[in-house]
């Protein structure tokens, strides 16, 4: 009596499950059919042709600036500062007075030494005349000459001390911030002020030993830096190349000299250096935005023409992913070492949203302007 209701319940469950499975299968089949009938609209892209361009051959490096003449003026003798003639940040010429130490004692000693030298000169001249007439012995004449030389040397010694305490600019240049004050007792070696000759200025940089033939004295260089106004380039030339290669890094030290009008470049700054080679190179170039960068390999999407179907909004245009090997960069362009041929057309922007074989519609109305030497404008 209890088996019959149980069988009826199981049968009911089986019927319900069957109905649900059938309805679901019918729904999935309808979706699959609809998906096959639905056509994905083509992706709108901007394109650019692979161009044959002539680029300057450059050797690039990061350099450091150094003054042609640069020192920290320091005291040579211990003494008290009695006058400061320098103006921090001012331009000075060779021999301009910077700091005066107390020389009152040396000045008095110099007057005494000059008086002694004058007396010794008179004595020497008298002995010279008397020697000519054989009135005095030659030994007296020699003694008078020695006394004169000693007196003159003593006076010169005091003058040298006074000159060392009268601190002057050793060369023309721009002063830094002074580090002494009036009344201060400064000792030998105490720094007083930095003095730098800024125009022209040296640029020191390193290049690998493989590029030895590409850095010769006289080759032009171009300097750029974030310390310069946007877009400004400073030019100069290589003036020295070290005769030896560093054994630790196998790098060669090179020095260039560049003009520094306006003194915008300062010693210690880092700059970007480009050494211009005598010969140019021919390259295949595409916009840098056309490259899909990836760890395994870089690629681009080449636009190809296929047979267009009826009502095809893409007009038979599809993209093919092409792996490439990249070369150098110039402005908005990147060189292609291998993987493309001239006159091929590649997608220039938005490559990240494409897939291999996807239909595309070309619209270059909003294609940005690509330049070898772009000049961005400040907003």
DSSP 210: G
Mean pLDDT estimate for the chain: 85
- Report the C-alpha gap between 64 and 68 in whole angstroms: 13
Percent of the chain with pLDDT over 90: 22
Query: Burial, 276: exposed, middle or buried (Cβ in 10 Å; 0-12, 13-18, 19+)?
Result: middle
Q: Does residue 312 register a pLDDT over 70?
A: no
Supply the pLDDT for residue 35. 62
Residue 108 CA, chain-centre distance (Å), reads 55
Give me the torsion for CA of 165, 169, 171, 174, rounded to 10°: 150
Q: Does residue 379 register a pLDDT over 70?
A: no
Q: Does residue 62 register a pLDDT over 70?
A: yes
Q: What is the per-residue pLDDT across 227-248, written as a single tens digit (0 to 9) for each?
A: 888 778 888 999 999 999 988 9
Among the residue ranges 188-202, 261-275, 363-377, the one predicted with the least confidence is 363-377
Long-range contact list for 261-265, CB < 8 A, 24+ apart? 261/199, 263/174, 263/198, 263/199, 264/227, 264/228, 264/229, 264/232, 265/65, 265/198, 265/201, 265/223, 265/225, 265/227, 265/228, 265/234
Percent of the chain with pLDDT over 70: 93
Find the mean pLDDT for residues 307-315.
56
Q: What is the per-residue pLDDT across 132-159, written as a single tens digit (0 to 9) for each?
A: 777 667 787 778 888 888 988 998 998 9
- Are 45 and 354 spatial neighbours (Cβ–Cβ below 8 Å)? yes
User: In three state form, how does the secondary structure of 283-321 look?
Assistant: EEEEEHHHCECCCCCEEEEEEEECCCCCCCCCCCEEEEE
Query: Burial, 364: exposed, middle or buried (Cβ in 10 Å; 0-12, 13-18, 19+)?
Result: exposed
Residue of 33 and 288 predicted with greater confidence: 288
Angle between helices 138-165 and 104-132 (to 10 degrees): 160
Supply the pLDDT for residue 26. 80
Q: How confident is the model at residue 224 (pLDDT cuts 50, 70, 90)?
A: confident
Q: Does residue 309 register a pLDDT over 80?
A: no
- Are 225 and 203 spatial neighbours (Cβ–Cβ below 8 Å)? no
Q: Does residue 256 register a pLDDT over 90?
A: yes
Q: What is the per-residue pLDDT across 332-351, written as a single tens digit (0 to 9) for each?
A: 889 998 888 888 999 988 88
Residue 352 CA, chain-centre distance (Å), reads 32
Residue of 39 and 354 predicted with greater confidence: 354
Pick the closest to residue 285 from 56, 54, 46 (CA basis). 54
Find the mean pLDDT for residues 70-94.
90
- Are 340 and 324 spatial neighbours (Cβ–Cβ below 8 Å)? yes
Among the residue ranges 19-33, 211-225, 335-349, 358-372, the one predicted with the least confidence is 19-33
In the chain the beta strands, taken as DSSP E runs, fall at: 43-45, 47-49, 51-74, 79-84, 91-92, 97-101, 166-168, 173-175, 185-186, 191-208, 220-224, 234-245, 251-258, 270-287, 298-305, 317-330, 333-338, 345-347, 360-362
Supply the pLDDT for residue 308. 60
Find the mean pLDDT for residues 268-278.
88
Helix (H, G, I), strand (E, B) or coil at 282: strand
Q: Would you tell me how many other CB atoms lie within 10 Å of the CB of residue 109?
A: 17
CA atoms within 13 A on the CB side of 238: 23
Find the mean pLDDT for residues 311-324.
76
Residue of 32 and 210 predicted with greater confidence: 210
């Amino acid at each position: 009596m209890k088996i019959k209701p149980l069988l009826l319940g199981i049968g009911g469950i089986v019927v319900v499950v069957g109905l649900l499975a059938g309805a679901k299968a019918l729904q999935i089949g309808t979706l699959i059919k609809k998906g096959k009938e639905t056509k994905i609209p083509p992706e709108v892209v901007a394109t650019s042709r692979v161009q044959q361009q002539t680029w300057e051959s450059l050797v690039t490096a990061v350099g450091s600036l150094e003054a042609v003449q640069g020192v920290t003026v320091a005291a040579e003798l211990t003494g008290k500062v009695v006058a400061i003639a320098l103006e921090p940040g001012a331009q000075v010429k060779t021999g301009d007075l910077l700091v005066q130490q107390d020389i009152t004692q040396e000045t008095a000693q110099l007057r005494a030494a000059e008086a002694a030298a004058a007396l010794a000169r008179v004595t020497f001249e008298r002995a010279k005349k008397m020697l000519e007439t054989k009135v005095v012995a030659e030994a007296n004449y020699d003694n008078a000459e020695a006394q004169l030389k000693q007196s003159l040397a003593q006076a010169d010694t005091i003058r040298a001390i006074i000159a060392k305490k009268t601190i002057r600019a050793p060369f023309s240049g721009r002063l830094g911030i002074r580090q002494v004050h009036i009344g201060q007792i400064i000792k030998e070696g105490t720094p007083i002020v930095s003095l730098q000759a800024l125009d022209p200025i040296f640029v020191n940089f390193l290049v690998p030993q493989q590029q030895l033939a590409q850095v010769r004295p006289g080759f032009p260089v171009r300097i750029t830096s974030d310390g310069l106004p946007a877009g400004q380039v400073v030019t100069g030339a290589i003036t020295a190349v070290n005769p030896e290669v560093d054994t630790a890094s196998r790098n060669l030290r090179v020095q260039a000299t560049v003009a520094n009008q306006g003194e915008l470049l300062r010693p210690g700054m880092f700059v970007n250096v480009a050494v211009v080679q005598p010969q140019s190179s021919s390259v295949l170039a595409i916009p840098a935005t056309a490259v899909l960068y990836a760890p395994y390999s870089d690629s681009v999407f080449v636009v190809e023409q296929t047979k267009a179907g009826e009502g095809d909004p893409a007009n038979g245009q599809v993209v093919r992913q092409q792996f490439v090997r990249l070369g150098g960069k110039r402005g908005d362009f990147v060189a292609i070492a291998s993987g493309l041929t001239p006159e091929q057309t590649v997608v220039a922007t938005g490559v990240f949203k494409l897939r291999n074989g996807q239909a595309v519609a070309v619209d270059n109305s909003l294609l940005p302007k690509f330049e070898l030497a772009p000049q961005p404008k400040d907003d």
